[in-house]
Chain A
Amino acid sequence: MTQIMEGSHAVAEAVRLSKPGVISAYPITPQTHIVERLAEMVADGLLEADYITVESEFSALSACLGASATGVRVYSATTSQGLALMFEVCFNAAGMRLPLVMTIANRALSAPLSIWNDHQDSISLRDSGWLQLYAQDCQEAHDLHYIAYRVAEDHSVLLPAMVCFDGFVLTHTYEPVDIPGQEEVDAFLPAFSPYQRLDARDPISFGMYATPDYYMEFRYEMERAMQRAKGVLKECGKEFGERFGRDYSDLVESYRLEDADTALVAMGSLCGTVKDAIDEMRGEGKKVGLLNLRVFRPFPFEDVKKALSGVSRVAILDKNVSIGSKGAVGLEMRDTLYGTGIEILDCIAGLGGRDIRKRDVRRIVGLAEAGGGDIFYGLREEVL
């Protein structure tokens, strides 16, 4: 049934319908409304889960990790500083191959303190072994949770997953969201079937040490699982489309790229603005299109290369920066497109909640056509 609801509540509904047995989270802006709503659902008896209250994000994810090891579906949500505090646990959960699902309400990292949106928080954990999916609207934020659970828990993957959606821009925005019924969700997402679990009658330990003779092979197995996740994501995305009418069988979304000369590359809610700008420019005869990276980990090298095979230049909107280098998306794109001759412009843009408007997208297309070098786009030179 389609309802008008806040993005955070759309996510909470997806979590309720996914039936996690344990939820542990620590409230932090702009994630708060998700976990507040879940706490209400548990208190009201709408969701049969243990809601473990903790004193920090480190403890929240640790509680989820331990619960997952006992063989139960778990959920957490955080953002920014909270995710930074989870850093160690993130790597452990992935290495222990525990299929946690966590929502990231994307927000800038301190300092300076900012509660506004960019992608620095989740991007900074791109090496942690978690799948990373980026939603462009509230409906996608809702849908991607079911897919995240399915893929993470698949025994050929067994890696945790982050569903990332933009803080405030989506978390606090009301949109129509189609909420499926419990039976439909159950048919797509069956009860969690753990690969292995803690059991006092048949004891095992998770995440034991590995000497230099074995460590690399453990990491390589994670990489292989991440590569297998691409196929599982496509299969589950296709099945989701067949069941619910919204297809996620592609790891990337191509918008008006068929005959495009210039491709914009973006992630998350920004894609909506970019599409509007593209429609305007198309009306003026400019051949532009968008590549929306819905999946950032595993990085869909082959899919990106295929989608961009016809373009002459690419302009990347990077809502993050690796200080001392470039934007994370830009670096991946340069690797993917190396040797193709496609020109690349990497724009660091929209950090700390700076709006990226249609006119900015148009200017960035102009910059790409002019062949300029990588930039921080839209800097206020007067304050520098």
Chain B
Amino acid sequence: MTLSVGCTARPGKSRENRTGAWRTFKPNFKHDKCTKCGICALICPESAVHENQDGFYDADYNYCKGCGLCAEECPAEDIEMTREEK
């Protein structure tokens, strides 16, 4: 990357900047007691949780920062935060 004059940026930089690298704890969507309520997707500040083909939910780990809000809010307690070793 070369620097832009005046630190300007064009649209799409949030997509390029893979903030998943910031993560310390990783949410594991166990799909065990999950009722497919979708609160995890609604609560995710990064919109990094998406419904999959089976109607369950998964995180996009390229952008999930590991904040843990989904695990905290999951009524079925079906999301487990585990320390991620890099």
Contact = CB atoms under 8 A, between A and B. Distances in A.
Interface string A184-221: 00000000000110000001111111100010011001
B19 to A, nearest CB: 11
Given A203-B11, A208-B13, A217 B6 contact: no
A73 interface: no
Interface residues of B, number: 10
Contacts of B8: 96, 196, 204-208
A204 B7 contact: no
A196 B9 CA distance: 11
B37 to A, nearest CB: 35
Residue in B7, B9, B10, B11 with the greatest tally of chain A CB atoms within 10 Å: B7
B9 A204 contact: yes
A95 B5 CA distance: 9
Contact of A96 (B3, B6, B11, B13): B6
Residue in B1, B3, B5 with the greatest tally of chain A CB atoms within 10 Å: B5
A203 B10 contact: yes
Contacts of A209: 7
Contacts of A196: 5-6, 8
Contact of B5 (A97, A203, A217): A97
A207 to B, nearest CB: 5
A181 to B, nearest CB: 34
A98 interface: yes
Contacts of A83: none
Residue in B8, B11, B13 with the greatest tally of chain A CB atoms within 10 Å: B8
B6 A158 contact: yes
Given A203-B11, A204-B10, A208-B13, A158 B3 contact: no
Interface of B: 1, 3, 5-11, 13
Given A158-B5, A196-B8, A204-B9, 17 more contacts: A95-B6, A96-B7, A97-B6, A98-B6, A158-B6, A195-B5, A196-B5, A196-B6, A203-B10, A205-B8, A205-B9, A206-B8, A207-B6, A208-B13, A210-B7, A214-B1, A221-B3
Interface of A: 95-98, 158, 195-196, 203-210, 214, 217-218, 221
